Amino acid sequence: MNKLINKRNILIILIALLIILWILWFYFKNKLFPNKIITQTQIINTWAVNELITKNYKKEFHHLDLRSKNLWTMPDICKMVIWTNYEYDIWSLDLADNEIVEIDKDLWCLKNLSELYLSFNKITEIKNLEWLTFLKKLDLGNNEIKEISWLDTLVNLVDLHLWYNQIISTTWLEKLVNLTSLQLQSNKLEDISNLSNLTKLETLKLEFNKLDNEDIKIIDKLKALKIITVWENPQVDKKTIDKLNELSRKNMK
Query: What DSSP letter does each residue of 148-180 carry, written as one string?
Result: --S-TT-TT--EEE--SS---B-TT-TT-TT-S
What does the alpha-carbon distance between residue 227 and residue 205 come to, in Å, rounded to a whole number?
A: 8
Antiparallel, parallel or unpaired: β 36-38 and 43-45: antiparallel
Q: Is residue 192 included in any domain, yes or no?
A: yes
103 and 10 inside one domain:
no
Q: Is residue 37 included in any domain, yes or no?
A: no
* Overall average pLDDT of the 133-155 stretch: 94
- Return the bridge partners of 197, or none: none
198 and 100 inside one domain:
yes
15-34: pLDDT as tens digits: 777 777 766 665 555 444 44
Using only C-alpha atoms, what is the Rg of the chain?
A: 26
Helix (H, G, I), strand (E, B) or coil at 119: coil
- Return the bridge partners of 58, or none: 63
Q: Residue 52 is part of a domain; what is its CATH number? A: 3.80.10.10
Domain that holds residue 13: 1-32
Between these two residues, 106 and 29, which has the higher pLDDT value?
A: 106
Angle at 77 between CA 75 and CA 79, to 5 degrees: 115
Q: Is residue 162 included in any domain, yes or no?
A: yes
137 and 210 inside one domain:
yes
27 and 46 inside one domain:
no
3 and 68 inside one domain:
no
Q: Is residue 219 included in any domain, yes or no?
A: yes
Confidence of residue 41 (pLDDT cuts 50, 70, 90): very low
Contact between 176 and 196 under an 8 Å Cβ cutoff? The reply is no
96 and 122 inside one domain:
yes
113 and 18 inside one domain:
no
68-104: pLDDT as tens digits: 999 998 888 887 776 566 656 889 999 999 999 999 9
How many domains are contained in the chain? Answer: 2
Task: Classify residue 61 by its DSSP letter.
Answer: G
pLDDT (0 to 100) of residue 229 = 94
183 Cβ contact partners less than 8 Å away, ≥ 6 residues apart: 141, 160, 161, 162, 163, 203, 205
